[in-house]
Amino acid sequence: MFKISGTGHALPERIVTNDELSTFLDTSDEWISKRTGIKSRRVITDESLSQLAARASLNALEMAGVKADELDLIIATSCTPEKVVPGIGCMVQELIGASCPAFDISSACSGFLMALDAATAYFKSGRVKKMLVVSAENMTRFVDWTDRSTCVLFGDGAGAVVLREGDNLLSIKMHTHGTHGTVGIEGPKGNSPFETVEWPERNSCTFMNGQETYKYAVGAMSGDIEEAAAMAGIEPADIDHIVPHQANLRIIMATQSKLGIPMERFCTGIEYLGNTSSASEPIVLDVENRKGRFKEGDIVAFAAFGAGLTDGGAIYRW
Ligand code: ACO
């Protein structure tokens, strides 16, 4: 299958702290920190999402020592794309100077793992030797900034990995439960003269049943790590590092407590990122990788959940 030969990320310049949010929302640093672990988030101002995605991709390519024109495929993931079409993958292809096919996956916060799962099929079939997965999200454009129960949770950013042939991915398993309703973003309001249904909720803002999502997330993250570990023939206790989707520190801690794995093994960036949806795992992976956290042979687990509902886990040997 593949190995990760380069990681990269890019964040918008603008930092928005919880205290800044409390200047225009009925909220506080105390509430947000205690309930979510978030202290600040990065917010897009004058950057474009495709520029962030391209910067993250170039960082990953540089680390991998791969030139953009050597890539055989780009898979981008975003549930908050800059345009409906073309996809972020096509825009990144142009910005980094690649010439390979590119397409997008929209699978909310599970997008990065869905892309890795798709990548396994391309490598297995021999159709690619070098590819880029880039996850980029502009969640702050798709929230209602007057709704304190959702807007305080999200941030923007992009993360990327360059994949080459290798046997380091030991297992991956994705799930979808099309139980629409727990969390989502409605499509844009159209102006078709033929549409006869009123869609007042079509405001393109994130809606969420927080507590239902929370319960689902904890069960899914721990179950997916156990399932991926069993597929790889290891015990959860053998995992050296876990890179979970960063939605809420309490979800990560509850997952930790269910699995009985020490908290130090969980990579977290929620405090300075907020929830950056599919970008959260590759961002945190790159931040920790550049600190030298992962040693050759270390077992790294990934786990994610998101709108769909979708979820999944993977086990990777560094
Ligand atoms: N500041 C202050 N008070 C607030 C805020 C806020 N920002 N938001 C809500 N409150 C209030 C509520 O109004 C409520 O007040 P009340 O008791 O007077 O009615 C109280 O705080 C408690 O609200 P809850 O919703 O019960 O708080 P909870 O402990 O469940 O935390 C949270 C909410 C953080 C959203 C949590 O449920 C959660 O993290 N859920 C999972 C979210 C998630 O992972 N989403 C990922 C999907 S995103 C995607 O896929 C695109």
Evaluate if residue 71 carries a pLDDT over 90. Answer: yes
| Ligand 1 atom with the shortest distance to the CA of 211 | 37
Which protein residue's CA is at the shortest distance from atom 30 of ligand 1? Answer: 211
Which pair of structure tokens corresponds to residue 122? 């391309």
- Which residue puts its alpha carbon closest to atom 20 of ligand 1? 149
Residue pLDDT, tens place only, 134-185: 999 999 999 999 999 999 999 999 999 999 999 999 999 999 999 867 899 9
> Is pLDDT above 80 for 198?
no
The whole-angstrom separation of Cα 183 and Cα 185 is 7
Could you tell me the domains of the chain?
2-167 (3.40.47.10), 171-185+204-317 (3.40.47.10)
Average pLDDT, the chain: 96
Query: From the CA of 208, how far away is ligand 1's center (Å)?
Result: 9
Check residue 1 and give its pLDDT: 86
| Residues belonging to the active site | 109, 245, 275
| DSSP-derived 3-state class of residue 223 | helix
**Ligand 1 centroid, distance to 250 Cα (angstroms):** 12
Give the atom of ligand 1 at the shortest distance from the alpha carbon of 306: 50
Ligand 1, pocket-test mutation among 152, 211, 252, most atoms within 8 A of CB? 211
State the average pLDDT over residues 61-66: 98
Q: How far apart are CA 56 and CA 2, in angstroms?
A: 20
Task: Give the mean pLDDT of 251-266.
Answer: 96
For residue range 5-17, list pLDDT tens digits in order: 999 999 999 999 9
CA–CA distance from 173 to each of 178, 223, 257 (Å)? 17, 11, 22
CA dist., res. 103 & res. 143, Å (int):
25
Nearest CA to ligand 1 atom 42: 210
Angle, in degrees to the nearest 10, between helices 280-290 and 111-124: 80
